[in-house]
Amino acid sequence: MNMQQNNISENNFEQCIKCTVCTVYCPVIPVNPEYPGPKQAGPDEERLRLKRGEYFDEALKYCLNCKRCEVACPSNVKIGDIIQLARIKYSKKKPALRDIMLANTDFVGTMASAFAPVVNTTLSLKPVKMVMDGVLKIDHHRVFPKYSSQTFESWFKKNAMASQDNYKKHVSFFHGCYINYNFPQLGKDMVSVLNAIGYGVHLLEKEKCCGVALISNGLINQARKQAEANLRSVRKSVFEDKRPVIGASSTCIFTMRDEYPHLLGIDNADVRDSIELATRFIFRLLEEGNVKLKFRDDVKMKIAYHTPCHMEKLGWAYYSIALLRSIPNINLTVLNSQCCGIAGTYGFKKENYETSQGIGASLFRQIEEVAADFVATDCETCKWQIEMSTPAKVKHPISILAEALDLEATRKLNSDK
């Protein structure tokens, strides 16, 4: 047994049994012949790279890091991690100005929110889109999410923070960049739902972007610094304040739980199980009988649920689907979801646009065929891709829950718990 363990590398590429199931499940291979595929890019080439780093292939940049290869692998080989670590270690390509801008969501978000009306109008102008396409190589088909003039943090401190200590139980909320700079309403919905089930909501002492965009764009040192800052705040919340940390974004939570140790080499074992998605948190409370929900009688919805790739990797789609199914008068279709193709900043890059749309094509067809009132998903970039590529509107399960609940009746049900 010891000999076997000694013969298995840290990233376990030797456990690949050459079955090629990862290749079958890879969403990039059918639409981009330049990508060698997960088996070759991962375990096969890792053998060569460990001998001579020049065997690295820059075509690995076409990997989405969707983790579908890892979900499919019967030997539990960390294929996606192998590919991303190879990019981190061996790639000679330096991040371009475009990559730095797309990856620095906190900086860009802070600047854009201060001038939101002007920024939103400017980014929607066709001449501006064409300049970004030609100069920055940000594809002109893409529509940037609008920025909010008031950030979620600003709204929270002004309107909600003072009342949160009135509750008996408490959580910390990792809101992420999208909620803070683009869509504070989702954060407001989160506060409303958690308050209704008897939980006070608190911001982390200091929150940075989770770092997923920095990782995918090669800004690894900055990603590590932000990850370490986030974990300091998470540890304070968990150990000093006795508050678990929950979030709305499947990618943010996945990154903090799994990518910090796997790609950035940052140990989070002491707090990993205290970081989870809000839908999973609420589902567990319901299952344990610790909270009750009271729904409105006048809500009827036809919803199509899309499972984001990182949600698939976490194995947590069940919780969001179960919460949606608990709402009376809901007609829910769970889509046979493939990757939507956006992969964060990946699909905004001009050289990836056709690949991105090709990957998402089967999902887009399903959504149009179902003709639901709206699509539900836990990933903000999936929302952008679906709304850019179909007529459908997209909502987060937490926002759907906030809309369907009788919040005051739910608050009364949970006031004694």
* DSSP characters over 55-83: G--GGGGG-----HHHHH-TT---HHHHH
The three-class DSSP label of residue 268 is coil
Residues in the chain with pLDDT values less than 50: 1-7
Report how far residue 242's alpha carbon sits from residue 234's, in angstroms, rounded to the nearest whole number. Answer: 10
CATH of domain 13-90: 1.10.1060.10
CATH of the domain spanning 301-404, picked from 3.40.30, 3.30.70, 1.10.150, 3.40.50: 3.40.50
- Tokens representing 133 are 């396409």
Report how far residue 333's alpha carbon sits from residue 140's, in angstroms, rounded to the nearest whole number. Answer: 32
The secondary structure of the chain in percent helix, strand, coil, rounded to multiples of 5, reads: 60, 10, 35
pLDDT at 14: 86
* Continuous H helices in 15-65: 21-25, 38-39, 45-51
List, for residues 304-358, the tens digit of each pLDDT value: 999 999 999 999 999 999 999 999 999 999 999 889 999 999 999 999 999 999 9
pLDDT at 126: 95
pTM: 0.94
pLDDT at 238: 98
For 57, other C-beta atoms within 10 Å of its C-beta total 19
- Tokens representing 114 are 């201060």
Report how far residue 37's alpha carbon sits from residue 30's, in angstroms, rounded to the nearest whole number. Answer: 10
pLDDT at 67: 95
Report phi then psi at 347, rounded to 5: -75, -10
Domain ranges for the chain: 13-90, 301-404
> What's the first-to-final CA gap in the chain, in angstroms?
50
For 146, other C-beta atoms within 10 Å of its C-beta total 16
Residue 298 DSSP code: S
Same fold for the pair 13-90 and 301-404: no
